[in-house]
């Protein structure tokens, strides 16, 4: 009965996407001074979720994040990476809230 709840799969997929995006932000920041490094980002959750047909097993793809190129060819902007980091943290928090809400609904349904 509770083996395959779509809402829990969606929350898990959203949390995995947020974690992958946060890891990419960390990589970008670590390479902020590397000559020729191009900033990368993870494709948006909506795009990835739509491509995978709503599957909880997302294929996370990194994409070129663009940005203005500095004289050494680097495209990392620390301000932009800070914004991406906050967005990833918010997405992760949303995923946890969805998971908690689903668990509360199941507990209420079971009378606990």
Query: Over the stretch 47-62, which tens digit does the pLDDT of each residue have?
Result: 887 766 655 566 788 8
pLDDT in tens, 6-40: 888 888 889 999 999 999 999 999 999 999 999 99
Comparing CA positions, the residue from 66, 48, 46 lying closest to residue 57 is 48
Total tally of structural domains belonging to the chain = 1
Q: Which domain holds residue 33?
A: 6-110
1 part of a folded domain: no
91 part of a folded domain: yes
Q: What is the reported pLDDT for 60? A: 82
66 part of a folded domain: yes
101 part of a folded domain: yes
64 SS3 class: strand
Q: What is the reported pLDDT for 19? A: 95
Contact 36, 92 (CB under 8 A): no
């Amino acid at each position: 009965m509770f083996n395959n709840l779509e809402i829990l799969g969606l929350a898990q997929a959203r949390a995995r996407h947020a974690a992958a995006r946060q890891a990419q932000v960390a990589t970008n920041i670590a390479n902020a001074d590397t000559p020729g490094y191009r900033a990368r980002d993870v494709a948006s959750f909506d795009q990835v979720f739509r491509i995978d047909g709503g599957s909880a097993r997302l294929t996370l793809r990194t994409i070129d994040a663009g940005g203005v190129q500095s004289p050494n060819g680097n495209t990392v902007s620390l301000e932009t990476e800070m914004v991406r980091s906050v967005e990833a943290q918010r997405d992760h928090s949303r995923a946890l809230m969805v998971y908690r809400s689903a668990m509360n609904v199941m507990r209420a349904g079971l009378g606990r």
